[in-house]
Amino acid sequence: MRIAGAFLLIVLIAVAVVLVLRGTEAKQDVGAVRSISTDLHESGVEARAFDRGTALGYIRSLDGLLQAPGTIASSVDQLQTIARTAAGWAQGAPAGSPALDTAVALRSAADELRAYALHGGDRHLEEARRQVDAARASLSGASTTRPATADVKDRLENLQRSEQEQMQHLDEALQH
């Protein structure tokens, strides 16, 4: 019995050591992910302080365009302004903040509506609506606690939107 008890105690100590080491490793991994999300920035975009009132105004404007899709084509300049402003907000927003979430969602919604103006398609309207809803939820504080990897996803999505905007700008120039 003593041998079995000693063996069980050794196994329990070994399991505890493994769990402590895994916990430390996980904390280091989360720290590394947060560090990456802080370092991902778009070149050529100046950081701007987030303005909640302007963001609410943009949400109302985007909602209005979604209600009247026929007006989207004549609102491309406004959509470009929203995307540019949101890009600056994303550049200046700290990782994991509602400002970052809102900025990325607003930029995405504006880009989807620009894509709709160029190519049409209900999928662009649906995605823009989803992004406007995400911006509204983030701004209201209704969004939930997110893992550190979500910050990296936001930063990467913001960079992807930059590339998409450049392609849309070329498409718009070719159509005019």
Distances (CA, A) of 157 to 95, 140, 154, 161: 13, 21, 5, 6
Query: What is the average pLDDT across 88-104?
Result: 86
pLDDT score at 83: 92
What is the rounded CA–CA span in Å between residue 158 and residue 166?
A: 13
List the structure tokens of 71.
């007006």
- pLDDT tens digits for range 24-63: 666 655 555 555 545 555 567 787 999 999 999 999 999 9
Q: Per-domain residue ranges for the chain?
A: 40-175
Amino acid identity for residue 66 in this structure = L
Helices (H), the chain: 2-39, 52-67, 76-92, 98-119, 122-140, 148-175
Query: What is the phi/psi pair of residue 107, to 5°?
Result: -65, -40
Residue 148 has which token pair? Answer: 């550190």
